[in-house]
DNA sequence: ATCATAAATAACTATCTGGTTATTTCAAGG
DNA sequence: CCTTGAAATAACCAGATAGTTATTTATGAT
């Protein structure tokens, strides 16, 4: 007779616990490095339950990546940047993106892991397709508004802008460890983080605004 | 009696074959995902030889990452951008960096893998410390020259510039798979690659040059 | 109450995997 | 030659690992 905790059934909570633990482990050490046993132990759940609810390790990974991505897109959509002036909207978006990365470091390593696997886990997701489409469309609309007001440059490609916008923060953070060695400097102190955000906002404005508007900004600081 | 190829001894070649195979495997699937047996098979070498020459899997990984990084820095140093006009030097550096990433895709996944492991494999490398130091110093000197000529903005931080310079290409390439899904567009066609390089050159110029100089450039296209 | 079903547990297994042991073979210096 | 140390080979192993089988138990509908 083995001492045994009374079973309390709560499928939603069990699923959520498995997902949360998987998110931590996959983010910490990648799909290849993560161990099913460790995830189960962290979730305080029998390993069998992971197989019950998610099928296998890779399906669990797919679930994690999709939900992390979806949370990110939904949070951005909630900004409703279409209600702001173009320049304010752009600053808001850069700041939000940077802070979201800082607050959700798993997003970064999970996206990297997913790219190592050629994005095959989110390839087929209809849910992400919809969210991503709207995301790109919001930037297209923002650029259009800025151009109409004579503030933004004509003919910019919203995809290039979005890649640079995410990259300016993402790259800094994902490469923070090799970065500190390469540049011989702490990159994650409060001062360093603030400096990078300010730099990124400046970068995006220089990238998107007309030279004329930039000169005007410099004239009235 | 087992058929057995006559041993031909060539320690240098054996080491090189192990390193080359390890580079491919670690780049393909990460430190956690790579298998020692697969590396040995790919190198056409007895697994024991890897342990003989490199000690263990992680030491082999360290060796690979360090040499890949060193090759990159040495190639950049060979550009001798200090012989070029500031603007030409910057364009050359952006173009070189982009092409180097394209020609050496292992660099990107290895750097990502190393960051997942908090850069502990290159932390202690004296060789990289020297190379990295010179690398940062070259950009500092370039910015200084540009400022002296009244072309570059004053007070720029060479580290921020370098992070953005590498990131503008690195981020595009490392996230190419999720990128194609997010943006609903092929990112690696010849046209797409050329467009990104042109965009990155433009970005770096806008970032570094004075507004006055930029306006001048626009006036005479 | 009883029953059907999903939730949870426990123990197990085939295979994989990093690393080792034991042995043989080559090649260079004396 | 012949000795000696490094290079190479082959077989092996203990622990890890993803996934399974078999069984029990809680819960909600009837």
Angle CA B77–B78–B81, to nearest 5: 70
CB A27 within 8 A of CB A106: yes
Among the partner-chain residues B115, B168, B177, the one whose CB lies closest to the CB of A115 is B177
Q: pLDDT tens digit string along A173-196?
A: 999 999 999 999 999 999 999 999
CB B100 within 8 A of CB B107: yes
Among the partner-chain residues B34, B122, B177, the one whose CB lies closest to the CB of A178 is B122
Q: Is the CB of B10 under 7 A from strand D?
A: yes
What is the structure's pLDDT at A150? Answer: 97
Low-confidence ranges of chain B (pLDDT < 70): 1-7, 221
CA–C1' distance A35–D15 (Å)? 14
Contact with chain B for residue A218, Cβ under 8 A: yes
What is the structure's pLDDT at A3? Answer: 36
Among the partner-chain residues B166, B178, B212, the one whose CB lies closest to the CB of A114 is B178
What is the structure's pLDDT at B12? Answer: 86
Give the whole-angstrom CA distance, residue B187 versus residue B177.
Answer: 9
pLDDT at A221 over 80: no
Contact with chain A for residue B11, Cβ under 8 A: no
Give the whole-angstrom CA distance, residue B93 versus residue B76.
Answer: 8
- pTM for the whole thing? 0.93
Q: pLDDT tens digit string along A53-104?
A: 999 999 999 999 999 999 999 999 999 999 999 999 999 999 999 999 999 9
Per-window interface: A 169-188 vs B, CB < 8 A: 170-172, 174-185
pLDDT at A207 over 60: yes
Q: Is the CB of A3 under 7 A from strand D?
A: no
Cβ distance B167 to A163 less than 8 Å, yes or no, reads: no
User: What percentage of chain A has pLDDT greater than the value 90?
Assistant: 89
Q: Which residue of A has its CA nearest to B214?
A: A211
Q: Which bin fits B156, alpha (ψ -120 to 50), beta or left (φ > 0)?
A: beta
CB B122 within 8 A of CB B128: yes
CA–C1' distance A48–C13 (Å)? 15
Q: What 3 state SS string does chain A have?
A: CCCCCCCCCCHHHHHHHHHHHHHHHHHHHHHHHCCHHHHHHHHCCCHHHHHHHHCCHHHHHHHHHHHHHHHHHHHHHCCCHHHCCHHHHHHHHHHHHHHHHHHCHHHHHHHHHHHHCCCCCCCCCHHHHHHHHHHHHHHHHHHHHHHHCCCECCCCCHHHHHHHHHHHHHHHHHCHHHHHHHHCCCCCCHHHHHHHHHHHHHHHHHHHECHHHHHHHHHCC
Cβ distance B181 to A123 less than 8 Å, yes or no, reads: yes
């Amino acid at each position: 007779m083995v001492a045994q905790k009374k079973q309390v059934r709560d499928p939603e909570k069990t699923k959520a616990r498995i997902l949360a633990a998987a998110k931590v482990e996959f983010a910490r050490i990648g799909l290849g490095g993560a161990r099913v046993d460790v995830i189960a132990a962290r979730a305080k759940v029998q390993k069998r339950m992971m197989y019950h609810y998610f099928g296998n390790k890779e399906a669990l990974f797919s679930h994690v990546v999709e939900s992390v991505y979806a949370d990110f897109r939904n949070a951005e959509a909630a900004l409703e940047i279409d209600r702001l002036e173009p320049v304010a909207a752009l600053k808001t978006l850069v700041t939000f993106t940077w802070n979201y990365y800082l607050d959700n470091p798993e997003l970064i390593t999970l996206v990297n892991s997913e790219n190592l696997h050629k994005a095959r886990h989110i390839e087929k997701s209809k849910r992400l397709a919809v969210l991503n489409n709207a995301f790109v469309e919001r930037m297209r609309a923002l650029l259009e508004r800025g151009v109409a007001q004579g503030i933004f440059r004509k003919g910019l490609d919203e995809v290039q802008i979005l890649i640079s916008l995410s990259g300016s923060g993402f790259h800094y953070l994902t490469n923070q460890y090799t970065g500190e060695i390469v540049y011989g400097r702490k990159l994650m102190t409060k001062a360093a983080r603030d400096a990078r955000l300010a730099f990124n906002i400046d970068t995006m404005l220089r990238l998107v605004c007309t030279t004329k508007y930039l000169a005007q900004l410099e004239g009235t600081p």
